[in-house]
Amino acid sequence: PEDEKYTLPGFSILIAIVLTIICLAAFIYFIHNMSQSIQINNILDTIFVKSKKRLNLLIDKEAQDGLDIIESFPEVKDWHTYTTHQSGYFQNISLKNVITICKAYDTKAYLSIPKGFYVQHHIPFLHTEKPLPDDVVEKLFSNINYSRSEFVEDNYVLAFKQITEIILKAMSPGINDPGTAINAIDYLTELLALRMKKNDSGVMVVEGEVHVRIAIVSFEELLYNVMAALRTYCAHDPLLVQKMIWMLAYLKDREEVSSESYIEAINNELAIVTQAAMDNISNKTDLETIEKMSNNVS
C-alpha cells in the first residue's frame, strides 16, 4: 500500500506557537510577580503607602472640618449603653445610615471601641445621648460592619502593628536581621510623624454637623504600643537603640504637631528606652554613646 501523506495546516501551527509563547510569558510573569510580592522591602512599602494614604485622607478631612466643630461633640458621660450581639473585628460603619437614625431621634452616638479592634460578645460598645427603642438600637448595630480579618485601608493603626511585627520577627533569635529592622523603623518614623498632624479625635463631621464619634487609639497609646514591643526585642542591640533614639529625636523636632501632649509622650518614651538600654547593654562604650545621644535629644 502506498504511504498516505498528511498536510498540517500552517495557520493552526502558528496559533499553537503564539499560544505557547503567551502561556510561557504569563508563567514567567506570575513567578516574577510572586517573588517580588514576598520580598520584605515590597511588603513594607505596600503597607506604608496604604497607611499613608489613609492618614492623609483623615488629616485633610480634619483640616476641612475645623477644630471648633470637632470639639463641639459633647462629653460622653452618663450616656445610655448598649452591648454587642456578635463578635469580630470592628471594620467600619455605614455612617450615612447611622447619622440618619441619630437625626430622626435627635441624639448622638458614640462607639467606644476603636476600628480594627476585636469586639467580643455582650460588652458595652454603643452609647447614645438619649434612650432608644430596642428596634432602633438593632438598626444601629446592623449598620456596624464586622470582619474576621483586618485591612490597612480602613484602619491605619494596623500598619503600625504590622510593621512592628516585622521588626520583632527580624530581631527574633532564629532570624536576627537588624538591617530589616532598621529599614522598618524608618517607615515607622515617617508614619508617626504623619500621625502627629492628626488630632486625637474620632468625631465624624458630615455637612457641618456632628452626630457620631468613634473611639480611636491616641498618639500616646500608639507610640507606647510600638516602643514597648521594640524595647522587648531590641534593647540589647546598641545600633537599634540608637535608631530608636534617632526616631524619637526626629519626631520631637517636628513643627506640624496637633497637640503638645505628643511631645510629652515622646519625652517619656525617650527616657524609658534609654533606661532599657542601660539595663540590657553591658559594653561601656555603647552605653556612653547611647547616653550622649539621649542627652542631646533632651
pLDDT in tens, the chain (298 residues): 455 566 667 778 888 889 999 999 999 988 887 777 677 888 899 999 999 999 999 999 888 877 788 888 888 888 999 999 888 888 888 989 999 999 999 999 999 999 888 899 889 999 999 999 999 999 999 999 888 777 777 789 999 999 999 999 998 888 888 889 999 999 999 999 999 999 988 888 888 888 999 999 999 999 999 999 999 889 999 999 999 999 999 999 998 888 899 999 999 999 999 999 999 999 999 999 999 998 988 6
Shared-domain flag, residues 180 and 120? yes
Shared-domain flag, residues 183 and 206? yes
Torsion on CA atoms 127, 131, 135, 138, rounded to nearest 10: 0
Report the pLDDT value the prediction gives residue 21, as an integer from 0 to 100: 92
Report the pLDDT value the prediction gives residue 3, as an integer from 0 to 100: 53
Shared-domain flag, residues 252 and 281? yes
Question: Domain containing 182: what range?
Answer: 52-217
Sheet holding 88-93, edge to edge: 118-119, 88-93, 144-147
Q: Which of 217, 252, 274 is the last residue of a domain?
A: 217
**Residue 47 domain flag:** no
Shared-domain flag, residues 73 and 209? yes
**Residue 298 domain flag:** yes
Shared-domain flag, residues 66 and 142? yes
Shared-domain flag, residues 171 and 78? yes
Rg (CA), the chain: 27
Report the pLDDT value the prediction gives residue 298, as an integer from 0 to 100: 63
Q: Which of 217, 232, 251 is the last residue of a domain?
A: 217
Report the pLDDT value the prediction gives residue 6, as an integer from 0 to 100: 60
Report the pLDDT value the prediction gives residue 39, as an integer from 0 to 100: 79
Shared-domain flag, residues 157 and 297? no
How many structural domains are present in the chain? 2
**For 82, phi and psi rounded to 5 degrees?**
-130, 140
**Residue 43 domain flag:** no
**Residue 93 domain flag:** yes
Q: Is 222 exposed, middle or buried (0-12, 13-18, 19+ CB in 10 A)?
A: buried
Report the pLDDT value the prediction gives residue 215, as an integer from 0 to 100: 92
**Residue 25 domain flag:** no
**Residue 44 domain flag:** no
Shared-domain flag, residues 264 and 149? no
Shared-domain flag, residues 194 and 288? no
Shared-domain flag, residues 109 and 133? yes
**Residue 295 domain flag:** yes
Shared-domain flag, residues 213 and 292? no
Report the pLDDT value the prediction gives residue 147, as an integer from 0 to 100: 81
Q: Which of 168, 186, 217 is the last residue of a domain?
A: 217
Report the pLDDT value the prediction gives residue 146, as an integer from 0 to 100: 86
Shared-domain flag, residues 78 and 212? yes
CATH code of residue 58: 3.90.1170.30
**Residue 7 domain flag:** no
